[in-house]
Each structure stands twice: as C-alpha cells, then as structure tokens.
Structure 1
Amino acid sequence: MQAFSGAPGRREGPLAEVPPAGLRKIWTWGILIALGGFLFGFDTGVISGALLFIRSDFDLDSFQQGSVVSVLVLGAMVGALTSGRIADRFGRKRALEAEGLVFLVGTVIAVFAPGYGTLLAGRLILGLAVGAASATVPIYLSEIAPKDIRGRLLTLNQLMITVGILVAYLVNLAFSGAGNWRAMIAIGAVPAFVIVVAAVLILPESGTWLLEHGRRRQCRELIASVTGTATADRLIERYERRTREEAERHEPHETGARALAAPRVRPALVVGLALAALQQFAGINTIIYYAPTIIEQTGLTASNAIFYSIAIGVINLLMTIVAIRAIDRAGRRRLMLASLAVMTVTMALLGLSFVADWPSGLSLVFMVLYIAGYAAGLGPVFWTMIGEIFPARAHAAGSGASTAVNWASNFAVSLAFLPIANAIGQGETFWIFGVISLLGLLFVLRYVPETKGREYERIDADLQRRFGRRPPENAAAGG
C-alpha cells in the first residue's frame, strides 16, 4: 500500500482519506507486521541472560561465547542483503511469512541443541530471519501507511524492538532461578508462530507491490476495504497517472539493486547508509553493554546484571514511546537533530567523568541521558527514514542495503570497543563516540530532508537540492 502513502509507489496516498474504521484496520495490520521487530529485539536480547547458563552447560571458552552472540549479527547481515530480492519477487506478505518460518526453525534448532556447533547453527539461522525482518518490516509498514500517521506507524518497528528486548530481559529473569536457558530461547517461538498465522490469514499484500506487478484488481479491493470503492478508483488512477508522467520524463524503471545505482537514487542511498552506520558508530550498544559496570561503580549491588538490564530496557521503551508521540508532530529531522545534540553532549560528559574520575553517580546520570536521547530520536527515526526516502522501485533494495550496513556497523563496533578502550582508555573511547555523534549532527543538518507529511516527489526534490542536483521539473510540487 505504498501507493497509499505517496511515492512513485508512495504517491499521494490513497490512505490520506481513510475513515476511522479503516484506520483501525491499518493499525491492526501494522502491529502484526511489527511483530517482526519484536523478534528482532527478543532474539538479540535473550542471549545476554541465556549465555550465563549456556557457557557452563557446554563448557564454552571466551571465543565460543563471543561467537554464539556474534554469529547472529553475521547471519543478520546476509538476511538483510537478500531480503530485498525476496520481497520484490514474492511480495512483502510472503517475505514476512517466510521470515516467521525461519524464526521458528532457528528457535527449534537452538532450543534442542545438544552442543556448541548445533547452537551456533541455530543462532545463524535466527540471524538470517532477524536481518531479513529488520529490512522487510519498515518497507511493509511504510506501504500500508497514510502519510498523516506514517511516522507513528513506522516507529512501531522501533517500539516493538525495544519491547522485544525488554521482554527478553524479563524472560531471562523469570527462568534465571532454574538456569533454564532453553526455555528462555523457546519463548521466541510464540511471536514467530503468530507472525506466520497473521501473514497467512490476516495481513494483506502491499498495494504498491500489487500495482507494480500488474494486479490492479487486487489492489483496488485492498484499498476499497479501508477507504471505499470510489476513493480506491480515484487514487489508483492518480497513481497510474503519475506513473505515466514518469515514463514521459523518460525516468528509468529498473528495480531492486540496479535501481540503487541510478543517479537519482544515489542521494537517498547515501543518506540511508550514512544513518545506518551512524546509529551504531555513535556508541549505543557499547553503552548498553557497559551499563552493569557503571551501575556497580555507583555503589549499588550489580550482582544481578539481568535485573539492571531491565531498568535500561524500560528507559529505552519509555523514550521510544515519547518518539512515537512526537514524530508526526515535531518531524523526523528535528527529532534526529535534538537526539544527536543530546548524544554528543552526554557522551562528552560521560568520557570526562571517566578521565577526571568524577563520582560514579554522575557517570550513571550521563549514561541514562544518552540512552534517553538516542531512544527519543536517532533510534526510531532511522527506521522511519529508510521507509520514506527511497522510490518504490528501490524501496526493498534500499531498505535491505541500509539494514545490512546497520548490522555490519553493529558487528564492527562490538569487536572494536574493548581493544580501543584498553589501548587509549574508556573515557577517551567515549569521546570518539561523541565526535561521531557531532559529525552525524552536521551530516543531518546538511543532507537529510524532512519527510513528515510529504509525498515522495517533494522528499526527492529536497534530497536532490541538498546534494547539489537539479530536481525533476515540477517535482517539488508533486503531491
């Protein structure tokens, strides 16, 4: 239904005129789709508690423990890169269905793993599903979203990621007394099963994908189910008229990865890849990983690291909810700028607190403020932006490439943090993250357009201008 929200594929949206009953249906679809984000969060978070018991059961050394964690990230990179081709060929609905099934297979293998090798294989398969879902969900959400609620609907992805992480921590806590790591991982099968059932029985195919594949009648029925037949006919005609206008301007219509190479798509690709790397290289995961140590230094007991992880998860979740409420009011760009400003300042102060040996309570305050700033802006806005800046023909490929870079950056930062901190000091390492946040702030100021409430033509025209390119004639007025 990207045709509903205003691009060549997200053109002025059929869903700009949706009655309350139709909006309720769209929100139901959105929540079910965003369960893919929940599994993303759950499977990346549950291993933190499970590994405490896996390492003793399987007698794992430090390398093996690290590989159990990192193999999921490697699988996710592959899954994200391949998801675009699958979603373009078979549809968003079928892609999500397949990802749910892969989640189930990976979970079963991990739960019943007799040893390290089988567990590693299960985690790799889970990674493929996590990466594919992390790329598919933003595409799917953006293609069912009316422009007036597009930001909130897309932010469901990040909300469900944070809910998944928090639920993983709670599940870890619930089973930690018995040391039952298999039960911790097994809980992930429940939402995976729900996704498969929802994709088969409830979720519609994306209207954009249907139109792009010549299935006009099915698209009309889909739009009519939330807007009425008269509105559906008018909006499909509007979509088709703009498609003809593109053809008259002789704009190329390659799809998938080839579309990403088109000169007009390169600004969107640069923004998507840069924000993907920035989200990880600004240091969020190292702060979350380091939280138990900082908490311990405040004088509070940190013997139960899982319990304190829950507190961090709650902060992350609450600030994501703040972002959902603000994203369609304040706008994506303003939230991201404010977020990066907070992250820059708090990371500089956090580094200084270590270098100057300030009271550890201040370190905790700076860490919490940093997480709050990230969760209220850069965290959710990245996933929203990659659902809005690409044209329909490059939508799945652009989201997949951006998500793959995000996972690769996650992997690189996780590997590099401890060696760098040991070489130059913890405080100085945090300063590096602060500098990256500042550079990200400058990048957003110069190159990232506002997408709130705008049709794709206007977003693209703004992108072209920011990169010193001339927008297509009449593009700025498009939509």
Structure 2
Amino acid sequence: MIQDNTVSNTFYVNLLLVCLGSLQFGYHMGVLNSAGPYITCQYQDYSSADDVCIPMSSQQFAQVTSIFSVGGLIGSFLAGKLADAKGRKFTSLFNTAGFVIGSLILIYSTNVHLFSVGRLILGISSGSSIVFTSLMITEIAPSHMIDSLGTFNQSFINIGILIVQSLSIKYAKALIWKRLFIVSFVFSVMQFALSVVLLKESTKWLFESNKISQAKDVLRSLRSASISESQFIKDFKYITTDDNDLELSDHPKQVIGWKEYLTNSKYKKSAMFVALILIGQQFCGINAIILYSTQVISDLSSKDQADLPTQVNFVISIVNTIFTFISPKTISFFGKKNSLSLSAFFMGISSLLITLSLSFKQLYLLIIFVIAFIICFALGVGPIPFAIISDLNPSEARTVSQSYGTVINWIGTILVSYSFPILAEMLGMSTVFCMFALFSIFFGLFIYSKLPTKANQVEETEALLN
C-alpha cells in the first residue's frame, strides 16, 4: 500500500474498508464463471438430491447472470442519493449488509427464482459500492495522493476476480460449490463488523450537513499528527470547497440531484464527457476478453488443449491485477489524460493484432496479444475513467456524477457482454475485434485532443467541446 507521512494509520484502515466493496463486486461478478456448470446440475445427477444443485436451462442461467448487472444499474443509480441523504458510512453499511443477505440467500437457494433474488441483491450492493469507493477516496485522501489512490477501485475489483478464480480451483465442483458463497458470507459479516467500529464518516458530507466541528475532527484522525496547521487548513479547504483560494467558511454547500445534473447547462458538458469516457471504456472491448476469453481462445485451440483457455483466463486475471497496481506509477508520470489516451490507442493496436491472429489462426500469437491487450487496459482505460469523474465536475455534482458515470458504464457492460457472442456468430470474431480496434484508436485520439488536463476545469471542458 502507498506510504505517505501526511496521513495516519486510521487513514489506511479506512481506505482498505472503503475498497472492500469493490473487491466484493469483482468476487461476485466472476463467481459464476467456473462454478456455473456445477450450480446448474450439468455435472450432477440431481434426481435424488435436490439441494446439491439448481436445475437451470441455458436461458435461466443467462437470467441469473444478467440480473446481477440489472442490480448493478439500480445500485449505481441509488448510491449517490443515499450517500448524500444518509451519509457515506451508512451507505457503506447498507452495501455490506446487501453482500451478507445476498450471499446467505445463495447458500440456501433451492430454485432459480430464489437464486435470482440473491444475485439481484448482490448486484445492487456491487453497483452502489463502486460508486461509493471512488467517491469516498476523493473525500478522505490528500490532494497529492488522489491520482495514485484513484486506481484502487479497479485494483480491488481485479483482486476480487482473482480471489474467486483461485478459490474456484478447489470449490467450483459438484456438491461443494456453495462454499464459494459461504466464503463471501463470512467475509461480508466481518467487513460489516469492522466498518461499524472503524469506518469514519466523510469530512465532506459532515461539512455539507453543517457539522463543521465533527468534519474537522474526522479529518484530523485521518491525517498525521506531524502536519502543520496550515497544511491541515489547506487540506480541509481542498476536500470541502471547489476553490482553495476562498476563505474557509462554515457554511455548507449545496449538492444536486440527477434532474439538475442532466438538465442544468452548467453541468451539460461535464455529463457529456463522463458518458463518453465511461461508455468508451466498455466499447474498447474489455469485457469481450474478461467474459469470453475462453471462447476466443477455444476458437483456435484443439481438443488436446482443452485446459488451455482456462489457464489463459487465470493468467489474464493475474496480469490485470499486477499491472493495475503498477498503473499509479505510470499515471503519476504521464498524467491521467496521456495515460488514458495512450492506453486506449494501444488497446486498439492490440485488437488489430488479435484480429490478424484470428484470421491467420495463430494460437500462441493470439494469446500474447490478448495479454498485451489486458496490460494496455490495466495501465489506463481500466482504472482512470472512474478516478477522473471528480476532476470533471464541481464539488456539488461529484456524488451524482459518480452515480451517473457508473450507470453509463453498466449500460455499456450489458451492451458489450450481450452483443459480443451474437456479433461474433454473425460477422466472425476477427471482424468484431477489428471494430473494437477502430473504436479504441479513435477514442484514444479524442481523449488526447479534447480532455481537460487540470482538475475541476469545467470551463476548459466546455471551451474544448465548443
């Protein structure tokens, strides 16, 4: 974890608790991947033991898979309102309670309907959690740590995926697959208990609720005792106001809702940029690899290489996790704008090479370029979009803009995840990756030429778009 002498140990504890929601999201997003055949009784005679698996048709399994994304959309939409109305800590406990309840339902599910309810609840908590993580990091971290910590959301999602894939090697089997959900239940209970005791309320939310004294006390607990009073005041201004040159005031600032964010001309350009960046992340084709890499590799592998797609998928998760943790260094060096544009551009180049490998049936070159694609994603297009939302919006719009961006991202995820296999069958997989390549290259060029370079420069955003 990043070390800094301006923050306290309490800060690092809170940072970890905040990021556990993103880890849970990654865990539950990937849990059905390997365990699906055993959950749906494909490898089990269930005539005499109805509780060891849940008979499902392919359509029903698609339902329990997709309803997680539906829940994610709902959670993303509600997260901002809940965080502003009830506070950030309440929102975290709400999300964690959803993970507890959803996991418990899956453990005791005996039919597809109850299983779907559990997945829906987990999706709601997951969608809300990834909004909460990005929002909370910007409200507890010093300004000089924001860029580095902004990648933690994506990093912990990747860790969650990696954990569940590691556990699946042992537990994604007939009779014992429910242990995957027992693990998540126990973990969620522990997370809830720790959050009740240790998680601090957001300084910004307390300030906006006119609890100025409490806001200062919370921030002091998150900062090192060695920082000067002037540093503390500067930090407090940064978190609670848009303009750090303003005199510190004890007057709370107003926050806005969805209607004003989408209709007020002040936020129109910012909302447009958020939508383009978050939908662009998905249209670069990342979920074609994350969700369908086994199918992509299987297209060229032989029957003797039946285990190869699964092995490549596991390697992809490891590579994605490692390079997402490396990304703070590269982002700090190149900056968010250049890192995002270069990442998208080279994802496009990698997609073109994947297209050629598929066309000429070069299996091992395909694997190399798929891994290169993942590396390019992890260094920019993966972690930056959610981290950059706060930079594009004024203080009163940051909460709703996080929810808005996450909803847009969920819509992109659903579109790509459902359309990819259909388009691959209709047009050929190489053609689909060629489409991803063209989009990624143009997306990278657009970011390079249009994205503002300084935090909170909404006027610059509008000038560039106009």
Distance 2:410 2:271 in 1: 16
Q: Deviations over 1:290-347 (max 9, x none)?
A: 3224444355723375544321110111111121222223211111111111111111
Q: Kindly report which structure 2 residues correspond to 1:277-316, keeping only aligned pairs within 5 A, or say none.
A: 277-296=279-298, 297-298=300-301, 301-303=305-307, 306-316=310-320
Q: Does 1:26 align with 2:11?
A: yes
- For 1:230, the equivalent position in structure 2 comes to 229
Distance 1:196 1:394 in 2: 28
Q: Deviations over 1:213-252 (max 9, x none)?
A: 1010101112222255834456557857959969xxxxx9
- Assess if the C-alpha contact under 8 Å between 1:173 and 1:307 holds in 2: no
Q: CA deviation at 1:274?
A: 1.2
- Assess if the C-alpha contact under 8 Å between 1:267 and 1:464 holds in 2: yes
SS of 2:151's equivalent in the other structure is helix
- For 1:434, the equivalent position in structure 2 comes to 437
SS of 1:58's equivalent in the other structure is coil
Q: Does 1:460 align with 2:426?
A: no
- For 2:50, the equivalent position in structure 1 comes to none
Residue range with higher mean Cα deviation, 300-309 or 169-178? 300-309
Match of 1:180 among 144, 167, 176: 176
Q: Does 1:257 align with 2:258?
A: yes
- For 1:396, the equivalent position in structure 2 comes to 399
- Assess if the C-alpha contact under 8 Å between 1:172 and 1:306 holds in 2: no
- Assess if the C-alpha contact under 8 Å between 1:27 and 1:153 holds in 2: no
- For 2:364, the equivalent position in structure 1 comes to 361
Q: CA RMSD in A?
A: 2.6
Match of 2:420 among 385, 402, 417: 417
SS of 2:333's equivalent in the other structure is coil
Q: Kindly report which structure 2 residues correspond to 1:52-91, keeping only aligned pairs within 5 A, or say none.
A: 52-56=37-41, 57-91=53-87
Q: CA deviation at 1:402?
A: 0.7
Q: CA deviation at 1:450?
A: 2.7
Match of 2:377 among 371, 374, 379: 374
Distance 1:371 1:237 in 2: 38
Match of 1:150 among 136, 146, 151: 146
Q: Deviations over 1:66-96 (max 9, x none)?
A: 1111110011001100111000111111101
Amino acid at match of 2:317: G
Distance 1:308 1:354 in 2: 16
Structure 2 unmatched runs, 5+ = 42-52, 248-252
- For 2:45, the equivalent position in structure 1 comes to none
- Assess if the C-alpha contact under 8 Å between 1:51 and 1:181 holds in 2: no
Q: CA deviation at 1:258?
A: 3.8
- Assess if the C-alpha contact under 8 Å between 1:335 and 1:376 holds in 2: yes
Q: CA deviation at 1:259?
A: 4.1
- Assess if the C-alpha contact under 8 Å between 1:278 and 1:440 holds in 2: yes
- For 1:317, the equivalent position in structure 2 comes to 321
Q: CA deviation at 1:410?
A: 0.7
- Return the structure number with greater relative CO, CA threshold 8 A, min gap 6: 1
Distance 2:431 2:295 in 1: 17
- Assess if the C-alpha contact under 8 Å between 2:8 and 2:224 holds in 1: no
Amino acid at match of 1:97: L
Q: Does 1:122 align with 2:118?
A: yes
Q: CA deviation at 1:415?
A: 1.2
Q: Deviations over 1:434-476 (max 9, x none)?
A: 122122113212332235xx4x3xx3343233223xxxxxxxx
Distance 1:438 1:138 in 2: 27
Q: CA deviation at 1:157?
A: 1.0
| TM-score, scaled relative to structure 1 | 0.86
Amino acid at match of 2:465: F
Distance 2:380 2:265 in 1: 29
**Percent of aligned pairs with the same amino acid:** 23
- For 1:273, the equivalent position in structure 2 comes to 275
Residue range with higher mean Cα deviation, 83-92 or 291-300? 291-300
Amino acid at match of 1:132: S
- For 1:474, the equivalent position in structure 2 comes to none
Distance 2:259 2:296 in 1: 47
Match of 1:49 among 30, 34, 45: 34
Tell me the number of residue pairs that the alignment of Structure 1 and Structure 2 aligns. Answer: 442
- For 2:453, the equivalent position in structure 1 comes to 450
Distance 1:154 1:343 in 2: 21
Distance 2:392 2:283 in 1: 22
Amino acid at match of 2:331: I
Distance 1:234 1:354 in 2: 55
- The alpha-carbon distance between structure 1 residues 122 and 222, as it changes in their structure 2 partners (threshold 3 A), is same
- The alpha-carbon distance between structure 1 residues 326 and 240, as it changes in their structure 2 partners (threshold 3 A), is closer
Amino acid at match of 1:55: T
